[in-house]
Chains A and B, each alone.
Chain A
Amino acid sequence: MIKLSGIEKVYRTSSIETLALDNINVDIQKGEFVSIMGPSGCGKSTLLNIMGLLDEPSKGEVTINERQLKGYKDKELARIRNQEIGFIFQSFHLINDLSVLDNVEIPLLYRPGSGSKRRELAKEALEKVGLSNRMKHFPTQLSGGQKQRVAIARAIVGRPSLILADEPTGNLDSNMGNEILNILLQLNQEGSTIIMVTHDENMAKRTNRLIRLFDGRQVF
């Protein structure tokens, strides 16, 4: 499904160089639910962003569904993000100026298809996360858990094979957190490959596999 080999990421600012990731090698199979854990600042988000093509590694190769992505252009990467990847962020990242329904439709805007079809798919996705009664609301009118469920609906609306979640429960209380995890487990059951960053050992235990990072390196 997704394979990283020899990934290195260096952040360069005018004065300092930070080695955020150092020789990361990961191979994740279709249908797996993988957790990434590690202390703050160890490079978890950086790793997830590279997996999701939101950032480029300084060294190493990313292979998604058998394609080695070195040298791919912006347009081609955008297409892969659009069709094959869905993101969930810790701080939701919804667009506050758009209604819940319009937010969920966003991934569908960047592929062919009619407006009514988009509407239909977005409603379906919202039903799945139990929010079909909040479609006309705006993000600011929702609780944290509801916002994250909207974000999940947005991540799955385009039926991507890979879902990347960066601390999806980090801003929620444990009840809400569990609810979100249950939704993700359900999606995994239905066939989605999921990679999730988490600080919660109990949550990590409920996934198939755990990748531990420390100071930019994998620990086994």
Chain B
Amino acid sequence: MLSNYIKIAWKVLLRNPFYTFITLFGISFTLLILLVLSAFLDHMFGSHYPEQQRFRTLYIPSITLRDSSRTSTMKGPMSYKFLKKNLSALGGIEAYGISSLFRTTNAYVGSKRIKMMVKYADSGFWRVTDFELLEGKLFNESDIDRGQHIAVITEKVRDEYFGPGESVVGKPIEFNGLKYRIVGMVKGSPVTHPYTYADIVLPYNSPKSEYESDSKNGAYIGIIRARSARDFPSIQREFEHLTQRGLKFPFEESGMKVAHLEAKALPFLTGFIYEFFQSESTEIFFTVVSLFMLLFMALPAINLINLNISRIIERSSEISIRKAFGAPSKTILWQFVIENVFVTSLGALIALVFAQIILSIFNSSGLIPYAVLSVNYTVFGIGLLLALVFGLMSGVVPAWRMSKLKPAEALKGA
């Protein structure tokens, strides 16, 4: 029975290769885009190396300063001191880290210039992230207190500066006219993770880090690791409260009379949206993304419905023949359900294979070093489900109506 149905489904597919191509292409291409796109979104916003614990992490990406009339606004990263003062007073958290955004520097090997991204960080930075240590150690408080020029590098720097496979711990690396002794090497973070991305991480008290600046504005951002995401509201409230503590408005900052100061600790996605849209509502983001995806799926769905309906009409005589020889309406319906599921699954399978290929090509291309994109099976499941729903609606509803017809009708003339 089943093999007879699959055989027929296969034959119908082969009978009209062009329609089949369009149908399968529609299903697979849509799912494929959906999978690749969601892999990118997941890579950008999900919890991945070295921020595997993003789901219980809060970020303080910026401070906003306004004058009393709110006509001028200054927004950007903060000073080390501002973050240190407020974060060290924060209770009930697992850890906090302070680090600068990355900055470009050049190092030279002989006459060859190597471009590198440098970040300054405190020891907490290593506690709020999960970098994989490949060699040596990460600097801790006492290392920082000794005030030596030390550095943690990634294997990318090792490969370019020392050569692949070389041992680096204890060796000096020179840039900005200064020598740093390498204490450790980690696996790098992809550039798509701006708060952890860097080729070289230096202690915050290294030269040129501007950690002693007394302004509010600066080059640093804060990261808080909560014990659990459930603690977010209380941490956020306490942090905002701390930032207002002991301020005497208005005060001077870079020539501006500051009357309002705002610094928020936000989950990654919320922070991202906040930076771009000045809104903390992730609903809008999700609505836009889902609307876009739905719209994107609507076109092939309509196409699928059309093709399905015309294909079923083509097959009215087959339906009647089967009925004439004893197929009950329900059995006919089952045949079309199975056929539809078969075709849709075929399309989904193609999409999955191609998505895996594209992502693995992307991952190994080094276009974004350290980025590991993978198929999100939840998204795949939802996409498959939608495709099945559309397929069933478009294929089975007309089949159901046809199966209700008296067989004599459709056998006439044909």
Chain A interfacial positions (CB closer than 8 Å to B): 45-46, 49, 52, 54-56, 74-75, 78-79, 81-83, 86-87, 89, 91, 93-95, 97-98, 102, 105-107, 109-111, 115, 154, 158
CA distance A115 to B409 in the complex (A): 31
Task: Name the distance in Å between B250's Cβ and chain A's nearest Cβ.
Answer: 82
Task: Give the complex CA separation of A55 and B320 in angstroms.
Answer: 11
Q: Let me know if B12 is at the binding interface, CB within 8 A.
A: yes
Q: Are B321 and A107 in contact (CB under 8 A)?
A: no
Task: Say yes or no for B42: interface residue by CB 8 A criterion.
Answer: no
Q: B322 to chain A: which residues have CB within 8 Å?
A: 106, 110
**Chain A to chain B: the 4 pairs with minimum beta-carbon distance, closest first:** A82-B326, A97-B11, A55-B408, A78-B328
A81 to B331, CA, bound (A): 14
Interface status of B208 (Cβ within 8 A of chain A)? no
How far does the alpha carbon of A102 sit from the alpha carbon of B11 in the complex, in Å?
Answer: 12
Selected from B4, B325, B327, B329, the residue in CB contact (under 8 A) with A87 is: B325
Interface residue B137 (Cβ < 8 Å from any Cβ of A): no
Most buried by B among A78, A89, A158: A78
In B113-154, the 8 Å CB interface with A consists of none
Query: Does residue B324 face the partner (Cβ distance < 8 Å to A)?
Result: yes
Evaluate contact between A97 and B324: CB separation under 8 angstroms: no
Q: How far is the CA of A94 from the CA of B1 in the complex (A)?
A: 18
Contacts of A94 in B (CB 8 A): 321
Check: B89 CB closer than 8 A to any chain A CB.
no
Q: What are the interface flags for B290-334 relative to A under an 8 Å C-beta threshold, 1 for contact and 0 otherwise? A: 000000000000000000000000000110111111111111000
Contacts of B414 in A (CB 8 A): 91, 93
Once the chains are docked, how many angstroms separate the CA of A186 from the CA of B412?
28
> Within the assembled complex, what's the spacing in Å between the Cα atoms of A158 and B160?
78
Interface size on B, residues (CB 8 A): 29
Known: A55-B406, A93-B411, A98-B7. A110 touches B317 (CB 8 A): no
B1 touches A106 (CB 8 A): no
The answer to whether the Cβ of B287 comes within 8 Å of any Cβ in the partner chain is no
**Could you tell me which B residues sit within 8 Å of A by CB distance?**
1, 3-4, 7-8, 11-12, 15, 317-318, 320-331, 406-409, 411-412, 414
17 other A-B residue contacts (CB within 8 Å) besides A82-B325, A95-B8, A158-B325: A52-B324, A54-B324, A54-B411, A55-B409, A56-B406, A74-B328, A78-B328, A79-B326, A79-B328, A81-B325, A87-B324, A89-B411, A93-B320, A97-B12, A107-B325, A107-B326, A110-B331
A residues in contact with B326, CB < 8 Å: 78-79, 81-83, 107, 110-111, 158
CB distance from A17 to the nearest CB of B (A): 17
Docked CA distance A81–B321 (Å): 11
State the Cβ distance, A110 to closest chain B Cβ, in Å. 4
Q: Are A78 and B323 in contact (CB under 8 A)?
A: yes
In the complex, residue of chain A having the shortest beta-carbon distance to the beta carbon of B335: A109
A107's nearest neighbour on chain B, judged by CB, is: B325
Q: Is the CB of B12 within 8 A of A154?
A: no
Asked if residues B406 and A54 are in contact (CB atoms below 8 Å), the reply is yes
Q: Closest approach, in angstroms, between the C-beta of B17 and any C-beta of chain A? A: 14
C-alpha gap A75/B327 in the complex (Å): 8
With both chains docked as a complex, state the minimum distance between the C-beta of A48 and any C-beta of chain B, in angstroms: 9
In contact, A75 and B328 (Cβ under 8 angstroms): yes
Instruction: Give chain B residues whose Cβ lies under 8 Å from the Cβ of A93.
Output: 317, 320-321, 324, 411, 414
Of chain A, the residue at the smallest CB distance from B13 is A97
B321 contacts which chain A residues (CB < 8 A)? 93-95, 106
A105 to B320, alpha carbons, bound, how many Å?
A: 16
Show 23 A/B contacts (Cβ-Cβ < 8 Å), sorted by A: A54-B406, A54-B408, A54-B411, A55-B409, A78-B327, A79-B328, A82-B325, A82-B327, A86-B325, A91-B414, A93-B320, A93-B414, A95-B8, A97-B15, A97-B318, A106-B322, A109-B1, A110-B322, A110-B327, A111-B326, A154-B325, A158-B325, A158-B326
Bound Cα distance A86, B321 (Å): 11
**In whole Å, how far is B344's beta carbon from the nearest beta carbon of chain A?**
19
Name B328's closest neighbour in chain A (CB-CB): A78
Whole-angstrom CA separation of A200 from B318 in the bound complex: 29
